[in-house]
Structure 1
Amino acid sequence: MMISLIDSKKSLTLFLFITCFFVYTQAQTVVKGMVRDAQTHAPLAFVSVYFKGSKGVISGEDGSYSISTTNPKNTTLEFSFNGYKVLRKKIETGITQNLDVNLEVAEMASVTVNSRRRTKYSNRNNPAVDLIRKVVDNRARNRMSAFEYVQFQQYEKMELSLTNKPEKLMNSRLLKNYKFLVENQDTTRLEGKALIPVYLEETLSDKYYRKNPSKEKTYVLAKKKVNLGEFVDNDGITRYLNSMYTPIDIYEPNLTLLSNQLLSPISDLAPTFYRFYLKDTVEQDGIKLVQLTFAPRNPNDLLFRGSMFVTLDGNYAVQKIQMGLTKHANLNWTRELRIKQDFERGADGRYHVVKSNMLAEFALSKKASGGLVGERTVSYKNYITNQPAPDSVYEGSREVIVDIPGSATDSFWTANRHTALSATEQKAYTNMDSLKNMRSYRRLMDWATFLLAGYKAAGPFDIGPVNAFYSFNPVEGFRLRFGGRTTPKFSKRLYFETYAAYGFKDERVKYFLSGAYSFNKKSIYTFPYNFLRVSFQHDTKIPGQELQFVQEDNFLLSFKRGDNNKWLYNDIFIAEYVREFGKNISYTFGFKNWKQQAAGNIVYQKFDGTGISTIRDITTTELSAEVRWAPREQFYQGKTYRIPIYNKYPIFRLRYISGIKGLANGDYDYQQVTANIFKRFYFSQFGYADVVTEGGYTFGQLPYPLLTIHRANQTYAYQLNSFNMMNFMEFVSDHYASVSTDYYFNGFIFNKLPVIKKLKLREVAGFKMVYGGIRRENDPAYSKEAFVFPTDETGRTTTFSLASKPYMEANVGIGNIFKILRVDYVRRLSYLENPDVPKWGIRARARFEF
């Protein structure tokens, strides 16, 4: 009987177990799918997916989710993410089903007015704000600088890809000759778009950090990148990408991205400019994490929208973050920007970043079908903290290239990459090698270089620049010029440049010839400079105008306001040696013999005791030395110039000139010292300012043409390094100090104005001042050796000293008009009594900016 009872209990238990299992499997509801943005179709991570009244899950980095329930009453699934409308979907119970959803941005939602008052967002008594402030308070202890020593291995991949819809790429006429490129598509990274890699660069490094004395050291173990050929500055692409996609330290108060500084959501000012919300609490490896979402208070500001997970273990560290710019952000050419970072808890209990990814898509407009995608992925491993490395590790420059045998081979990279390349990325190297050797590609790039840089290749010779072929001025009238220069195809050591010009009014021929010898077998136009150049120029010049990045006879600069009849005829012989070093220090030693003859309205005259005598010409012979230091400078290299990529570091320039009388017919003894400092100041959400300070002193008794003639501007373009309301040759000094400030607000005010904010305009303002003077020995009012200042046709003096007060001008303007144009109202503030001077003016400047 007892055995029968036990058997009955076992049978009953087995029956109940089977029944429960059967009921459970029959009643369980499983929903899987993807969550995407309704407009961009980009996957959305960290979206809360839940049945109302029940615990839920969050979507993964790729937007995927999976949720299950056994409650038959759970028939509505909700999707919630900050900044988007809450989406509710009816589901079928008791089955496994797929459900892909698209979330719409809340800003697009219609507004319904009712009697119920909406709760106003506030930082006060807001637990989300309290939590972010704890994260801010613990920033220092969660950064790398909190450790005495840190070392790790870093793998970095930078990639550029063409993007378009797959069918448009396949049918593109522009790419019809490059089918092998079109066939190498990646359709997985951006929803609905195909990516064609055109540039790929990989770097494997060992990194060392020491807190005291502070030093960071990088040992580059291997580097591999696509070579786009002779028409492209391949090193310049690397520098440009490094400046655009700077490494992200989420704990920095401000993040530098796309040449702008953006306020981090982990910043002291973050609660002022961001809204924060608590979304969910999860547990991972026994540690509670809080999901914190954030969005800008003003959607037009350059701020982020996204989500982060914060640890509640006392560190208040970021465990994961994903964010991007709002679609209304005042940023040009950028259709999409995503940043993802993953952190991992180390043996020391701290969280270290193990992977960082930044992706940006650029296009001419938001609606353009095609564009360019840039992506930087960095992974980190083998963290070692607070273990000192030998002092020898930190000696020398910040970066050292390690020559590892076989580091260029595919087998080395296959074994040492932190993450394997996709099949599309692997083909990028071979495809671009094939492309640069194609005749059609080389022809296309040749004409593109001609249109953008103004030079046309003709074998080992470049003809140009095209913008100087034709110009005009009051002295020469209609002027034609033709010239060019040799390329490395001619010689990697010897470089020549020449031009000839003719003025139809003065009926004079002008010419220029230079020869240079490169000591490092690099072009004399590319970094690092190491060359000796000798040149002779017989040509015209406006006194005091030393223009950078443009030719003085540029056609566009021919249009000038007011009297533009102060010119010189020059014979200038220059010999100079230029050397640059890896620490961005350069020096120049020079010899210059300059014979100048007045032209136009200028006449060189002085008192000779019996009256005024005319001096036909002046000859000076100079020895010079210049040192320039630009810490961590970056630039993109053009054909004959560099486009600087400014950062937060200053640029210093110190120059000394000694004039020697009697040497090569030199007429005067003198010395001149000039110092110049440029600095960009970043103010986070309030924009940035470029400040230039300069000072100079000239020793010796000299006529005014050899003193400092302050840079003026009589064109209708706004020039950064000139005084835009000053006339040519209006002021001269033998000692002076100047300051120039250009402030870029980045739309801080316009972004908050209705209607105006849709135009994405940006405010600019500036102020320029120079104060100086002329010593009595150089002032024609006191010295008989000094030249008389020039006068106009009525006898009024047109050149002055700055002895009584500084020259000042200020400007306010609107930038980013059509994403390229800046227009300023410039007001002259002093010396308004001078003859024929403008009190104000409208000036324009074209500038590509993000």
Structure 2
Amino acid sequence: MKHFWLLLLLFTLSLQAQFQINGIVKEAVTHKPLPFATIISNDGSNTVTDVDGKFTVFSKIAISNLRISYLGFTTVKVVMEQNKNYYTVFLLPKRNDLNEVLIPHENPALAIIKKTIESKNNNNPQNRLKSFDFKSYNKLIVTANPDSISGKIDSVFVEKSIGKVFSKIDSSAYKFKEIINKQHLFQTEKVSQYQYADHKLKETILGTKMAGFKQPIYEILGFNLQSFSIYDSSYELFETKYNSPLAKDAFKDYNYKLLDTVSIDGRNSYMVYFKNKKKRKASGLEGVLYIDQNSYAISKAIMRIKGVLDISGIHDFQYIDAENIWFPIRKTFKIIKGKNDDDIKILGGTIQFDGDVEKDFKVRKKTATDYAYLLSETNNFDFHYNVPVEIKKSSISIEIKDDAIDQPESFWNAYRKDSLDIRSQKTYLALDSIVIKKRIESRIRFGRKVVNGYIPMGAVDLDLRRIFRYNNYEGFRLGIGGTTNERFSKTYRIDGYAAYGTKDGEFKYNLGIAARVGQFSNSWIGASYTDDVREIASTLYSIEKRPFKLYDPRPINISTFYNYVSWKTFLETKIIPKTESKWELSHSAIEPKFNYTFNHDGTLYTNYVITAAMVSLQWNPFSDYMQTPSGRIEVDKRFPKFTFQFTQSLPKIASNDFEFSKIDFKTEFEKKYLNGQKTNLLLEAGYALGDVPLTHLYNTSPNNITKETIIQRITFAGRNSFETMYFNEFFSSEFVYFQFKHGFKRVALFSKVKPSLVLVSRMAWGNLQKPEQHLGLDYKTLNEGFFESGIELNQILNGLGLTAFYRYGPNGLPKFEDNIAIKLSFVFNLGL
């Protein structure tokens, strides 16, 4: 989801200088491309070839010649010819020099990189300087180079029995070139202030404008396209982290080669090429580090990855004499479409790719997405070093000022490095009308709501999760629900739902109201009334938002519920840094809908009243947040995450029957690997102290039904539930649960059969205090532990999959087949 907005802009919607020269550099003998060869034009500007040996040179004056050099090869000077803008350049190897570079034990690049790593702390501005601040101007566009598009109007023929027959005229390329000659496909600008002090870095967006949008898409502004610092142990490019070529353990991942020496800011720098040691494609970073020959600081860096997207990030630095340090002055980020064996679907649209492996792929007609690219350029200025810096709201990594979207044109003219060219000016005018005409803002708003489980209908968001459900107690649960949205009010909301169970024949409903009492903290105070049913001994964290699912498989076979009629008042807030919390006071009348009696000091209860206070808190200490005028967004979700919940019944208040306390805790960890694999860890624990009825204890999420054969027990698998544990088999007043999941990259067995293999292990330990209090159900305790392991083959065909689990350990069952559970799985793909 984090990449959705940029992919949408890139695939569904050239920054041209006055003079532009394109070309490719190859070895003269083998004709293989030379990556990262140095290109210097007659005006003194320099660039390097990409990993395919290709280059583009921009200049504001006419380019008369280029000098191309590469360590171990003879330097070539190419004189420009009139009406020619693409050159193929061949370099001859200098045998003696080349041999010296290629001998591993004499590789000078290793010694240079080693000294660079040893000097990191002294050269990293965030270590060397106590504080700094500066302003930056960023421009991001989605565009294409008109010169790269043929713009021909083609005739399309189809094969018939009598031969090829004319079908239609295809003018898509012609129309696309007409559009791109006049404007870009998308454009956004922002001006920010960066502040660094006490090892914290904050970006404050002073101004932002997005072509066609009255209110910008904040998710795009929150993207971390490339790392701020080149010295971090992990380097981030397009929200993916890679082990840095300057990490302490970098030598295990990268090979290095000295390419050349160049002058930057009057100081000589080594050019060191690095590449991931893995031989397979799209295995990681490669690029060039420019390293100051005296201080071994980075004076420039080029980072590149190739895969489904071809992504490059460039960091430019300036030498500051007063501080004896190289400081970042410019960043450039570019995405073009790469190669992939399969096309990608995004919200119903299909992005076509050329194949990434050697097969007999048919030549396909080029589309707009083959020419389009995304380019982001950031220029820093107005620097201050080692001066007092006060960072307000330092827990927020990005803050957007309330007036940032209303800045006048004079503001932009003051901060732009260059005035907008004609294409950029027309982009704002054209997209303003296109967005209005095609109702793009409304469609984006609609998509954002649907992803979160709502359909906007005027001032009300209809809750898709309330329409249809099924369980073994209510039968088919049919309902309707929703909440008012920002069109109704930004400071007040009303929410509720109503439902009817076809099997129990009962109506359920909820009604709530709330008012916002803090904008920055997004604090709301409210009250609600509910008459509904809930699974017994289930743990619900009040602060957690229920994820949107087309179906919820686990409740299908649950038959033991309790009814609760509850009054509740609450405060939800984000005032504590990097947390969301909810504080509740509730009064509930509880009626178990199964054969159960609670024995409390000799008094038997078949229904009871619980008045309780509760605080539920989710803490994400490693995540980064963006504060917008409309709320706070978690822009960089990092793990681990922690959730706490404490519940205390209130004795002798509002007819409360029992005195007890509950402490619940959960932590999640997730790690994604560059090869497409993913590891998930989940640890959960609960402790209930006092006189707690079974309805409010723990069942550790069983998901197996009591049937004779394995086939009869086939249902849908849950996400974190015990697939071999029978419903109501175990209850606990204290427990610990651990789950391990490791998913491998999807494997193509056939053209449409591409399963994802996931290995899963789950285990739990628990105990039950005062078991004599609970009458009416037969159950066991978890004091010997419960263990199951299995495999998931997800998304075998059209989202359907198959899982198999085995139960073992002290609570394994005597009959072998009773320990086995086979389930179906289903993954619904929105194409995000």
- Whether these two folds match at TM > 0.5 is yes
Q: 1:65-109: per-residue Cα shift (whole Å, max 9, x none)? A: 98979xxxxxxx999799xxx9999x99999895724699xxxxx
Matches for 1:35-434 after TM superposition, within 5 Å = 35-36=23-24, 46-47=36-37, 59=48, 63-64=56-57, 98=84, 100-101=86-87, 124-157=105-138, 159=140, 161=142, 185=180, 195-197=184-186, 200-209=188-197, 214-216=198-200, 218=202, 220=204, 222-226=206-210, 234-239=217-222, 241-242=223-224, 245-284=225-264, 287-296=267-276, 297-313=278-294, 315-327=295-307, 334-347=308-321, 348-361=323-336, 364-367=351-354, 369-371=367-369, 374-385=374-385, 387=386, 389-390=387-388, 393=390, 397=394, 408-418=407-417, 420-434=419-433
Q: 1:501-525: per-residue Cα shift (whole Å, max 9, x none)? A: 22222222222222222224x6xxx
**Aligned pair 1:658/2:644, yes or no?**
no
Alpha-carbon separation, structure 1, partners of 2:103 and 2:734: 56
Cα gap change, 1:456 to 1:37, in 2 (>3 Å): farther
Cα gap change, 1:700 to 1:395, in 2 (>3 Å): same
Alpha-carbon separation, structure 1, partners of 2:23 and 2:293: 28
**Aligned pair 1:556/2:517, yes or no?**
no
Stretches of structure 2 that go unaligned for 5 or more consecutive residues are 1-19, 27-32, 41-45, 91-98, 155-170, 338-343, 345-350, 355-365, 705-713
**Aligned counterpart, 1:516:** 514
Question: What is the letter of the counterpart of residue 578 of structure 1?
Answer: E
Question: What is the letter of the counterpart of residue 541 of structure 1?
Answer: R
Cα gap change, 1:93 to 1:261, in 2 (>3 Å): closer
> Deviation of residue 449 (structure 1)?
5.8
Alignment coverage as a number of residue pairs:
720
Cα gap change, 1:223 to 1:99, in 2 (>3 Å): closer
Alpha-carbon separation, structure 2, partners of 1:96 and 1:170: 28
> Deviation of residue 618 (structure 1)?
3.6
> Deviation of residue 460 (structure 1)?
2.1
**Aligned counterpart, 1:732:** 731
> Deviation of residue 590 (structure 1)?
0.6
Alpha-carbon separation, structure 1, partners of 2:545 and 2:152: 37
Cα gap change, 1:567 to 1:768, in 2 (>3 Å): same
Alpha-carbon separation, structure 1, partners of 2:115 and 2:568: 62
Question: What is the letter of the counterpart of residue 379 of structure 1?
Answer: N
Matches for 1:786-825 after TM superposition, within 5 Å = 786-788=774-776, 790=777, 797=778, 799-804=779-784, 806-811=785-790
Cα gap change, 1:221 to 1:325, in 2 (>3 Å): closer
Matches for 1:581-600 after TM superposition, within 5 Å = 581=575, 583-599=577-593
Larger mean CA deviation between 409-418 and 712-721 belongs to: 712-721
The secondary structure found in structure 2 opposite 1:265 is: coil
Cα gap change, 1:722 to 1:162, in 2 (>3 Å): farther
**Aligned counterpart, 1:507:** 505
Cα gap change, 1:354 to 1:68, in 2 (>3 Å): closer
Alpha-carbon separation, structure 1, partners of 2:755 and 2:139: 31
Q: 1:726-767: per-residue Cα shift (whole Å, max 9, x none)? A: 4444432222233344446779xx9xxx999x9999775454
**Aligned counterpart, 1:112:** none
Among 597, 600, 604, the residue aligned to 1:605: 597
Cα gap change, 1:846 to 1:717, in 2 (>3 Å): farther
Contact 1:655 1:673 in 2 (8 A): yes
Larger mean CA deviation between 433-442 and 469-478 belongs to: 433-442
> Deviation of residue 425 (structure 1)?
3.9
Contact 1:709 1:731 in 2 (8 A): yes
Alpha-carbon separation, structure 2, partners of 1:608 and 1:408: 67
> Deviation of residue 452 (structure 1)?
4.4
Alpha-carbon separation, structure 2, partners of 1:632 and 1:94: 53
Alpha-carbon separation, structure 1, partners of 2:753 and 2:274: 25
Alpha-carbon separation, structure 2, partners of 1:590 and 1:351: 53
> Deviation of residue 339 (structure 1)?
0.9
**Aligned counterpart, 1:534:** 527
Alpha-carbon separation, structure 2, partners of 1:217 and 1:68: 43
Question: What is the letter of the counterpart of residue 100 of structure 1?
Answer: Y
Contact 2:212 2:433 in 1 (8 A): no
Alpha-carbon separation, structure 1, partners of 2:304 and 2:761: 35
Aligned alpha-carbon RMSD (Å): 5.2
Alpha-carbon separation, structure 2, partners of 1:183 and 1:381: 36
**Aligned pair 1:572/2:566, yes or no?**
yes
The secondary structure found in structure 2 opposite 1:325 is: strand
Question: What is the letter of the counterpart of residue 238 of structure 1?
Answer: L
The structure that has the greater radius of gyration is 1
**Aligned counterpart, 2:483:** 485
The secondary structure found in structure 2 opposite 1:595 is: strand
Matches for 1:600-639 after TM superposition, within 5 Å = 602-605=594-597, 616-631=606-621, 633=623
What TM-score comes out, normalization by structure 1 length? 0.70
Alpha-carbon separation, structure 2, partners of 1:208 and 1:276: 32
> Deviation of residue 443 (structure 1)?
6.2
Alpha-carbon separation, structure 2, partners of 1:169 and 1:574: 67
Contact 2:70 2:260 in 1 (8 A): no
Alpha-carbon separation, structure 2, partners of 1:668 and 1:168: 78
Contact 2:141 2:376 in 1 (8 A): no
Question: What is the letter of the counterpart of residue 629 of structure 1?
Answer: W
Q: 1:341-371: per-residue Cα shift (whole Å, max 9, x none)? A: 1122220443222211222346645348355
Alpha-carbon separation, structure 1, partners of 2:133 and 2:624: 26
Stretches of structure 1 that go unaligned for 5 or more consecutive residues are 1-31, 51-56, 70-76, 105-117, 188-193, 328-333, 791-796
**Aligned counterpart, 2:698:** 708
> Deviation of residue 535 (structure 1)?
2.0
Larger mean CA deviation between 826-835 and 534-543 belongs to: 826-835
Alpha-carbon separation, structure 2, partners of 1:67 and 1:395: 51
What TM-score comes out, normalization by structure 2 length? 0.72
Contact 1:446 1:456 in 2 (8 A): no
The secondary structure found in structure 2 opposite 1:413 is: helix
Q: 1:386-429: per-residue Cα shift (whole Å, max 9, x none)? A: x3x23x73576356778999992211221123455444444555
The secondary structure found in structure 2 opposite 1:655 is: strand
Q: 1:273-323: per-residue Cα shift (whole Å, max 9, x none)? A: 33322333344565433322233332335412322333322x223322223
Question: What is the letter of the counterpart of residue 605 of structure 1?
Answer: T
Contact 1:184 1:427 in 2 (8 A): no
Contact 2:23 2:86 in 1 (8 A): yes
Question: What is the letter of the counterpart of residue 478 of structure 2?
Answer: L
Contact 1:820 1:849 in 2 (8 A): no
The secondary structure found in structure 2 opposite 1:320 is: strand
Contact 1:585 1:629 in 2 (8 A): yes
Cα gap change, 1:479 to 1:304, in 2 (>3 Å): same
Alpha-carbon separation, structure 2, partners of 1:675 and 1:228: 45
**Aligned counterpart, 1:667:** 657
**Aligned counterpart, 1:34:** 22
Alpha-carbon separation, structure 2, partners of 1:500 and 1:773: 37
The secondary structure found in structure 1 opposite 2:114 is: helix
The secondary structure found in structure 1 opposite 2:116 is: helix
Question: What is the letter of the counterpart of residue 739 of structure 1?
Answer: F
Alpha-carbon separation, structure 2, partners of 1:415 and 1:207: 20
Alpha-carbon separation, structure 1, partners of 2:422 and 2:131: 34
Contact 1:597 1:616 in 2 (8 A): yes
Quick one: percent identity of the two aligned structures? Answer: 17
